[in-house]
Structure 1
């Protein structure tokens, strides 16, 4: 018991245990003293007035009451000393005037120190109380005649009472001490994680509840949840010994970086928790320090990392509610890439307040715009129109969040959407939905769609589908007019988004995938989520087939249409891009050419005329393009027809194809049987020598079968008529090519005669898109 703090705890614990026993024992002593006083009145001889002796008994009763309420060992010991002194006074008053006072005093003087010895809390109290008792009792002996019998009694009183008292006191004191040490040891074992030495979950929760209950109104406390990243892989690959070592090292980091006032615990598995006094900013700073320190811990395959979630206690909140919010922040840190710190979600904006209780403002009044304050800025909505190219009209509006200064100056997007330590992008994302819907109810025509951008993490958040549906209806809208545009971003697996999409569709929402062709937005995402709309990244408009100037957009649109998805092209900025979108059968388009994002809706008339003119340009150009293509292919059709006639008349392949092979674009000439297999060797053309040998393993077509190709099927359907295919990527040459083929019937068999033309030069015309 050398530790002063431990000794103090022992004495406090003894006080709690001794108080009831001392109260009962001393109360019984008060009753015995009262009998002692009353018995004195039955004996003859002069006596001190009864009222004085009764007053002493009453004072003893008051001291007993004080002992029952004592809250410190010092007060408890002082009351005990006062109690013994009053007992000595009562004895002295009660034996006054008796012929044989020692017969009355000796039993009390002997019994009192012995019986009270176990009740003293500390050796100091015992020595002080016992010494004062004996010193105050000596005058009772010295007042008696100094005869041999009195001296013997005095020595017996001291020699019997004092040692017996000491034995009783220290025996009981050691018993209480050993019991406390055992209890303390068991409590430590029950409250400590044996591997790391930190508090376990039960002890942490109990201590946290006590701390929160004792908080002042202005005192702030934060919880930090810590989870070691990829811990299961560490155990699986390198064994549990490596995992245990990592847990111990992470625990040591937590202890080194925190102070004595912080509660640090291993909650379970690879999860830890810290309860820290201070605000959210201080807790986030600590979490970042912890993250950096943990990242310096080595593991066999690199370095350990951990994810952190931080939440600040709110007035009246339980520890479980606080930890739930910290755990939610930790989950977002995991979903957004691990090895990072995420703060709790900000308290969401009240949709009721934003939506003005469903009363739309004047659409022509800019002052009616909903502009809630957010982190020093004002949030507002700008809407960019989407046009149906076939209908040549506005059919929807994408809501885009903007930040404004108090003077109306726009905040740069890089500033508005920059990561902030005290909030998360998900909170801003959810707030934007309420803002957009509040503004859309007064601006957007009732038949138009509203495209709301939504982060994947928000999209998959539990319960958000129901919450958003309620906000939409509160705005006086219906979910079937809302298109949720899933942004290209981390957060939420494809499986989670697929399940979430089903929940939103139950309410009637439409789903769009944004920026297809960039980052996370790929074909797997499309086919798992099955969106109603696919928004193509603007760069896809300008993407061309390698080695040509032909756009890949028509083929991509055709693929998405076959998958049952409508196509939106973003970033249309020039008339040429608009014409390409129309020519590619794109369903909807948006971009600066068709309308910039703005707080007010612009009239669509001029854009409608622009789209109509694009259709006219395409109609005129399609005929011209077809004529150019046909004029370029016609010589090859004629030469192929001549070669076919020569073959039917019995002329050999080399001679029959001699003229055709000399044409500028001819790669090769060939004959296919009725199953699409090549008959004999192909005759090389002049363009064949330009091709490289990178595809040499598949360059020989003699073992291949080609009856699945359109150029074979089309020739069979029109026997005797030379047909030209659309450009395709040749497996033999690796270049865009065109095949001209004709089906002929000889006495022996039906065959398809053809030639493959090199169509990779940029100046060559391509036929109009299907």
Structure 2
């Protein structure tokens, strides 16, 4: 154990040192290129300012008497200088930038020589420029080579053009003192000091960038850097270039950490990273994606990537761990045209999962592209004797379709059929769903999904009733697959249907983000498809998913039709249907198996229903027979039941109405509320009697009844009704709209008691103003009638 930990510390130490002192032969070139990007703006401004100063110098010379060089020559020098300034932003290399600087200095010296020609003391004019120009130009030279060459040529040209006349000893001493003792050393200090500053800044910037892009344990690229670099490579990928990805995961790595400690686990990760770097080429991108997962991106096809993955598997299998040898599982995928890096990695990850599920320590390749669904239709149409083939060969069995009808409850007729995939043996025996849809390393769930669409459309051809919808189940991964919207539309039209008659039913499954499905839904709608979301209320289904995808229909999970609210056992289906209708979505209820469930679906205003009571899945699309009569009977039951329910509720509430009117008369006669509410407060279900002012705030204390309970302490922050304002409640608004009439509310969950309650209220005009008096009743007991609308 100590030896392993010590080795790990040495390895990490070496990695740290290598990061601090990178041995990069191209570092100098990259530094100069980076300096060029930084220097362009500064050089452009400085040299442009020098052109302006030179023009001022020309203007000053024209104020002095004596022979002078032609003005056109001097302005020509200014024009050449301006053109060189304009060339700076277009300099793509450090050498071009340096040549521009040398040319600029030579033209500037020539212009100075032309400008001082004919003056009495030319050195008086140019000596300051010969000192200032090299000093100001020193920081602008990108490299020491440029600085030395440019400065030497500047002084040589200046000496040839400006110092031709003999000088007195005093003047000569002054000139060389300014140039040799001040100008040259100062410019050298400026250049090398600024150069060192820029280099240190670049090294620090490079080190920070490396740290941000590197996994600190292994020294490999981290996930963010890997994805960013891969995106750049794919964006600049030549059409003929082949790119593949390898995804690998160390087997049983958690047990290594749990049994032997994280130091041993870290050492194993470092050894795996070292093995990857040993086998990968310099052009390959190698990354630790996270945890014990690694990824490689290489310029090779699938075959070459599989060979590399096998070499990596053997290399990792040679690494020791305290209880044996390390192993890893690999997934390999080749990039497809138009595919993003994340899609490529997802396919490699899928292959990795198959490697894990099939025993670990192995390499699995991506699944091949499925056969084109249109080709399936062609094959099916070319059956024996020209008859349509009703099943398609798939692995060891055949795929075929069963159709289950959906009914419009309001229209009491069939409006569509859901196509359900079935597997059959050669003798017609059905394959169990657990076998048909079981994940297998050798098969592709997405391919099965796409094949099912071709099979269903082939079987629906000619048998789907006119005007009826065909519901096709589709996995989220298939739904968002690039180009599948166009392919499916082509497929539908190939069988003589229009996309408007096909409803795509997105299954409850993993495989696509909500954003991706929302974007894909827009593409399918452009073709005319309708969209449905299946099994809402199960799995990952939620309202956010619905509101983002905006389906045309929502299919509710069958369990929702049997779900009831806590305490009262009242069905929640009516409220849920109302919510979805308000969101602009039609509602389908699945799993209708009894007459009671059908009645509830009708009563809840469900649009479409499906289930064994209305029709079982079958290979042939059967006529509706007497189903419409069963639906009509459900409507009759509801119509009669609604009147009976209303009568029951009214008979239950009427005594409270009468007692409330008596209490109102007593209050108008001046009786104290504690006395006026006594008869009403004696009812068993009475929680409390209260008076609300015109703004809905409670006046004084409520009068408690037998159902009053202080156990509502769990809702203590909202248990005191006197702290609240109640004019937004329906029982207050309805009483105000019908003054003098005792009105009963629908059941609601009381904030004060935490129980289902109803309120009976009455608006009364007192001398001091209008008030609403009322009583809150406990309506949580089972068997109590609810309003028919509920």
Q: How does the TM-score come out when normalised to structure 2? A: 0.60
Indicate the residue corresponding to 2:285 in structure 1: 267
Q: For structure 1, list consecutive stretches of 5 or more residues without a partner in the other structure.
A: 1-192, 206-211, 214-220, 230-241, 298-303, 312-318
Q: Name the structure 1 match of 2:418.
A: 398
Asked if 2 retains the 8 angstrom alpha-carbon contact of 1:386 and 1:588, the reply is yes
Match of 1:348 among 354, 370, 381: 370
CA gap 1:276/1:368 in 2 versus in 1, 3 angstroms: closer
Q: Give the equivalent residue in structure 2 for 1:11.
A: none
CA distance in 2, matches of 1:720, 1:348: 74
Distance 2:412 2:318 in 1: 60
Establish whether residue 251 from structure 1 lines up as the match of residue 266 from structure 2: no
Distance in 2, matches of 1:619 and 1:323, equals 59
Separation in 1 of the partners of 2:386 and 2:687?
66
Would the alpha carbon gap of residues 293 and 605 (structure 1) be closer, same or farther in structure 2, given more than 3 Å must change? Answer: farther
Aligned equivalent of 1:432: 452
Find the aligned partners of 1:375 and 1:566 in 2 and give their Cα distance.
38
Aligned to 1:661: 681
Distance 1:602 1:228, change over 3 A: same
Counterparts in 2 of 1:249 and 1:568: CA distance versus 1, 3 Å: farther
Q: How many residues align?
A: 529
- SS of equivalent residue, structure 1 residue 355: helix
2:346 to 331, 335, 341: 331
Alignment partner, residue 544 of structure 1: 564
How big is the shift at 1:754?
Answer: 0.7
Matches within 5 A, 1:506-521: 506-521=526-541
The answer to whether the 8 A contact 1:488-1:514 is kept is: yes
After superposition, the Cα gap between the structure-2 partners of 1:322 and 1:507, relative to the gap in structure 1 and judged at 3 Å, is closer
Q: Which residue of 1 is the match for residue 765 of structure 2? A: 745
Q: Determine the C-alpha separation between the residues in 1 that align with 2:249 and 2:335.
A: 21
Q: CA deviation at 1:309?
A: 3.9
Structure 1 distance, partners of 2:657, 2:405, is 48
User: Which deviates further from its counterpart, 437-446 or 715-724?
Assistant: 437-446
- Deviation of 1:353 after TM superposition, in Å, equals 3.8
How much has 1:326 moved relative to structure 2? 11
Contact 1:452 1:485 in 2 (8 A): yes
Deviation at 1:370, TM superposition (A): 2.9
What per-residue deviation string (whole Å, max 9, x for no partner) do you get for residues 422-470 of structure 1?
2221111111111111111222113111111111111111111111111
Kept in 2, the 8 Å contact 1:666–1:758? The answer is yes
Could you list the per-position Cα deviations for residues 675-703 of structure 1 after superposition, in whole angstroms to 9, with x for gaps in the alignment?
11111111111111385421121110112
| Match among 674, 681, 684 for residue 694 of structure 2 | 674
User: Do residues 378 (structure 1) and 398 (structure 2) align?
Assistant: yes
CA distance 1:518–1:433, change in 2 (3 Å): same
Deviation at 1:255, TM superposition (A): 8.6
- The reply to whether residue 613 of structure 1 matches residue 613 of structure 2 is no
Q: Tell me what 1:622 maps to.
A: 642
1:226 to 230, 247, 250: 247
Distance in 1 (CA, whole Å) between partners of 2:372 and 2:770 is 77
Q: Distance in 1 between matches of 2:422 and 2:452?
A: 9
Q: What are the superposed Cα offsets for residues 557-599 of structure 1, whole Å, 9 maximum, x if unpaired?
A: 0011111100000111111000000000000010111111111
Aligned positions of 1:155-194 closer than 5 A: none
Query: C-alpha separation between the residues in 1 aligned to 2:389 and 2:692?
Result: 70
SS in structure 1 at match of 2:722: coil
Distance 1:195 1:706, change over 3 A: closer
The C-alpha deviation readout for 1:280-299, integer Å capped at 9, x for no partner, is: 999999999999999x99xx
Shift of 1:356: 3.9
- 2:510 is paired with a residue whose SS is coil
Cα pair 2:558 2:590 within 8 Å, conserved: yes
Partner of 2:729: 709
User: How far 1:196 moved relative to its partner?
Assistant: 6.4
The structure 2 residue matched to 1:574, chosen from 587, 594, 597, is: 594
Which residue of structure 2 aligns with residue 481 of structure 1?
Answer: 501
Counterpart-to-counterpart distance in 2, 1:672 and 1:355 = 72
Cα offset, 1:375, TM superposition: 1.5
1:117-196, aligned counterparts within 5 Å? none
**C-alpha distance 252-375 of structure 1, shift in aligned 2 (>3 A):** farther
Change (3 A) 1:272 1:445: same
Secondary structure of 2:551's partner?
coil
3-state SS of paired residue (1:694): helix
Kindly provide the CA deviation profile for residues 337-358 of structure 1, in whole angstroms up to 9, marking residues without a partner as x: 9898685344423433433489
Counterpart secondary structure, 2:398: strand
Q: For 1:19-65, what per-residue CA distance to the aligned partner results, in whole angstroms no more than 9, with x for missing partners?
A: xxxxxxxxxxxxxxxxxxxxxxxxxxxxxxxxxxxxxxxxxxxxxxx
Q: Deviations over 1:388-431 (max 9, x none)?
A: 00000010111111111111111111111111112221111111
Q: What secondary structure does 2:721 align onto?
A: coil
| Pair 1:321–1:749, CA change in 2 (3 A) | closer
1:306 positional shift: 10
2:370 is paired with a residue of what secondary structure? Answer: coil
Greater radius of gyration (CA): 1
Task: Say if 2:275 and 2:312, in contact at 8 Å, map to a contact too.
Answer: no
In the alignment, the residues of structure 1 paired with residue 542 and residue 423 of structure 2 have an alpha-carbon distance, to the nearest angstrom, of 31
Following the alignment from structure 2 to structure 1, what is the Cα–Cα distance between the partners of residues 649 and 386?
55
In structure 1, the residue matched to 2:515 is 495
Rate the CA distance shift 1:728–1:338 in 2: closer, same or farther, 3 A: farther
The aligned runs of 1:285-304 (5 Å cut-off) are: none
What is the CA–CA distance in structure 2 between the aligned matches of 1:694 and 1:336, rounded to whole Å?
52
> Which aligned pairs between 1:208-227 and structure 2 lie closer than 5 A?
225-226=246-247
Match of residue 703, structure 2, among 675, 680, 683: 683
What residue in structure 2 maps to residue 641 of structure 1?
661
2:435 to 415, 435, 440: 415
Q: Matches of 2:507 and 2:692 in 1, distance apart?
A: 50
Please report the RMSD computed on the Cα atoms of aligned residues, expressed in angstroms: 4.4
Secondary structure of the residue aligned to 2:739 is: coil
Q: Decide whether aligned partners of structure 1 residues 375 and 655 sit closer, same or farther in structure 2, where only a CA change above 3 A counts.
A: same
Q: How far apart are 1:277 and its partner, in Å? A: 10
d(CA) in 1 for partners of 2:607, 2:329: 43
For residue 701 of structure 2, give the secondary structure of its aligned residue in structure 1: coil
Does residue 1:558 correspond to 2:611, yes or no?
A: no
TM-aligned CA distance change 1:287 to 1:378, over 3 Å: farther
Normalized against structure 1, the TM-score is what? 0.62
